[in-house]
Amino acid sequence: MSGTNTSREPFALQDHPQRGFVLGEMHARPFTAMAVPQHVRHFAFMTDADGRARSRRALRALCASRGLAEPATGAKFHRIELDGMVLRWEGHSEFTTLTFEQTGTAAHQPFKAPIADVQAMIEHLGQPGPLLVMVALELFAGADSADLAALFPPGEVAIARNNVASALFASDFRPDSDGVVCIAVATNNLPPDGAGALVQRLLEIETYRTLALLGLPQAHALAPVISAIEGYLPGLFDQIRQSATLESNRAILDRLTELSAQLEHGASASSFRFGATRAYGDLIWRRLKVLGETPVAGFTDWGGFFARRLEPAIRTCRAVEQRGDDLSRRLNRAAQLLRTRVEIELETQNSNLLTSMDRRAQLQLRLQQTVEGLSVAAISYYVSSLAEHVFEGLKDYGLPVDPVIATALAIPVVLVIVGTFVWRIRSAHHDV
């Protein structure tokens, strides 16, 4: 008995088109180990899809020119080592970041120690969009809170300790003369992995803080528009209450539509920014929760600083957005009320018009009936005249016929015949 080949192709599962993206998203921006001490310079640029694509292409060209691994198509994160420093590139939904890291100490010139070729590297990569965030972060070993406070100009400095008391971090969140916001981090036996995670979260907090505040100018621009419309509404409502004609109601409705369009234009221009402000604010508090910061005696912690300086701005954006939504609903209700009144007036006018048309139709019917009666008489008179001529001809022919009597006898017959004929014609028209 000859053997049979029972081998077959292995069964292959078909992946979802987005499976690779979903799985990779969880590892899109991994933490990297960071030695202590370390200089870090962080830049964030506002970018759209085209800006991110240009920045990614420039990074690929840089990697190709240096013989380094290139970022994958559509990559959101790439890290390369070159010329004694590390470049970390990240693409986000509305901004792109460039972070430069270099091992070294900054004991003599904190926040001023130059990182080799940062300026030349940015010029080579090109600026992908408007600059929004510029941070100088120094990572020290063994400094205390007083040492960190001394690194900043006199004023309020926010200092906190992480949840395992292995690091202190401080900033006054004020740009220096070069427009750079400075952050100092002092570690106490913090492992490189923990240092990298801490630094990345602090840079994210500062980036999100700046992005969250972008909604405040929008709120300041929209608030006067809302106030002006709110001040105009009471008088407009009085006009609605006193309006009694269709023309005046239409004029008020046109004004309401104009105000609604004005409000919606401002709201549509700021809705994304207000939503982003809420989202970035939530991210800041989540990052602080992950850090598990604990206050340092004599200093404000980062959470307390943001609660007094950042949260009011976020609440202002929320308040303006809520005012706009409430005002939009009020305008819509007023417009709907006025539309209902206009529709009722139009229905009343239409009803009166239909009544008038019905009255005219009845008059036309009566006139038609009168005309039909007259037409029966006229046709009967014409037919009787013809019959009279016939009878006169018969008499002249010699027949014993009196034309007058014969015509008189023929008239009732003619009337019945003509009337029946007209009635049938009218009945046929009514059936149609």
pLDDT band at 6 (very low <50, low <70, confident <90, very high): low
254 in the same domain as 160 = no
Domain boundary at 352, 386, 405, which? 352
pLDDT of residue 159: 95
Domain of residue 386 covers: 358-431
- What whole-number percentage of the chain has pLDDT above 70? 91
- pLDDT greater at residue 22 or residue 55: 55
220 in the same domain as 369 = no
The 8 Å CB, 24+ separation contacts for 111-116 are 111/136, 111/138, 111/151, 111/176, 111/180, 111/182, 111/184, 112/136, 113/39, 113/138, 115/39, 115/41, 115/85, 116/83, 116/84, 116/85
Do the strands 181-187 and 131-141 form a parallel or antiparallel pair, or are they unpaired? parallel
212-256 pLDDT per residue, tens: 999 999 999 999 999 998 888 888 888 877 777 778 878 888 888
Lowest-confidence pick of 134-148, 326-340, 386-400: 386-400
pLDDT band at 1 (very low <50, low <70, confident <90, very high): very low
371 in the same domain as 347 = no
Q: Is residue 372 part of a domain?
A: yes
Produce one character per residue of 367-385: b if its CB has 16 or more CB atoms within 10 Å, e if not.
Answer: eeeeeeeeebeebbeebbe
Segment (H or E) for 159: strand 158-161
Alpha-carbon distances, residue 116 vs 84, 103, 138, 360 (angstroms): 8, 11, 15, 96
Average pLDDT of the chain to the nearest whole number:
84
294-308 pLDDT per residue, tens: 989 999 999 999 999
Domain boundary at 198, 229, 252, which? 198
348 in the same domain as 364 = no
Is the pLDDT score of 384 beyond 60? yes
